Chain A
Amino acid sequence: MKQLANWFRRQSLEASLDRELRYHLERRITDFEKAGLSPSEARRQAVLELGGIAQIREEVRDVWLTRWVRDFMYDLRFSVRSFLKTPTFTIISMLSLMLGVGATTAIYSLVDQVLLHALPVRHPERLVLIDWRGDQVANAFGSWNLMSYPICRDLDQQKEFFDGVFCRALTTVNLSTGADYYPARAEIVSGNYFLVLGVGATTGRVFA
């Protein structure tokens, strides 16, 4: 975090380092001049002793901001600049990326729901659906693909193929709270529903 702060105040850091190094150099040049060297020779000696001002600067910069973070920031700045220079290209590539990412995410959510997230029951891998393709006998709810309760009960009583069989039918009911009515999705199920699935109720009781 401190390193990132250093990136944003790097100009004042640089100025301060410049001042610091200049102070050192000038003091050192005075020393050498006092020792009898010519001004140009004194400067040469002082710089030589420090071993390259540019190299010191670079090493101190590495202290402020680790090399790879610094390189990354420069790369980031460069790419933002290049993108700003060619707005049409940028917009088109961003749109294609957005579409691509969006489509992939959508497909993945579907796969995730269907394949990866099993039903939250005791043995989801052993759950099967038995369907009955029948004739339509009337136009009202529950008047086609009928499976009678006696058949369902007989299936439940056999112990050869299934541990338990329950029947269910989706429907919509009206829930009332005082004077207000709300339509709600509901399921009409046989008595052994919770027993076979091996789940309980979030609130309230279940029939045993």
Chain B
Amino acid sequence: MSSSRFPIPQGTLDMLILQIVSLEAMHGYGIAQRLEQISRSVVQVNQGSLYPALHRLEQKRWLRAEWKQSETGREAKFYALTASGREQLAAEKDDWARLVGAVQLIFNEGSGS
């Protein structure tokens, strides 16, 4: 099974984090769990790169962080999407769709001939 999992493409982790957080504010552990669930058996997310990415997004003001009580009753750092983060997510989704479309076009071209 692990042979069918490939490492997450460079630069898409930020986009995935923004997408997950856009649904509700989450702490790092929750985001890791969600990434694991969604991508199970398809992509492999290195948990070590999650926290640097979160801090990078916070520094760019695409995420806003806040210490709040978590579901276990202890305080955890929750990340939420900011207005500029929402714009960034929309822009990245757009770029992604265009890239996928372009790659698909090239594949279709090859099989058509």
Contacts and interface: CB of A to CB of B under 8 A. Distances in A.
A67 interface: no
B29 A55 contact: no
Given A60-B55, A63-B56, A64-B55, A23 B48 contact: no
Interface in B30-86: 32, 46-49, 51-52, 55-56, 59, 70, 72, 74-77
A20 B46 CA distance: 17
Interface string A143-176: 0000000000000000000000000000000000
B46 A63 contact: no
Interface in A34-92: 49-52, 55-56, 59-60, 62-64
Contact of B28 (A20, A59, A63, A64): A20
B48 A19 contact: no
A136 interface: no
A23 B59 contact: no
Given A2-B59, A16-B77, A64-B59, A24 B32 contact: yes
B107 to A, nearest CB: 35
Interface residues of A, number: 21
Interface string A1-38: 01000000000000011011101100110000000000
A28 B29 contact: yes
B48 A63 contact: no
Q: Choose among B29, B32, B72, B76 the residue with the greatest number of A CB atoms under 10 Å from its CB.
A: B29
A23 B77 contact: yes
Interface residues of B, number: 19
A151 to B, nearest CB: 79
A23 B55 contact: no
Given A56-B52, A60-B51, A63-B59, A24 B46 contact: no
A50 B76 contact: no
A50 B59 contact: no
Given A23-B74, A24-B28, A24-B29, A51 B46 contact: yes
Nearest to A55: B48
Interface string B5-29: 0000000000000000000000111
Contacts of A24: 27-29, 32, 51
Nearest to A52: B48
A50 B55 contact: no
Contacts of A20: 27-28, 51, 76-77
A27 B26 CA distance: 14
Contacts of B76: 20, 23
A179 B97 CA distance: 86
Contacts of A28: 29
A149 B49 CA distance: 89
A167 B47 CA distance: 87
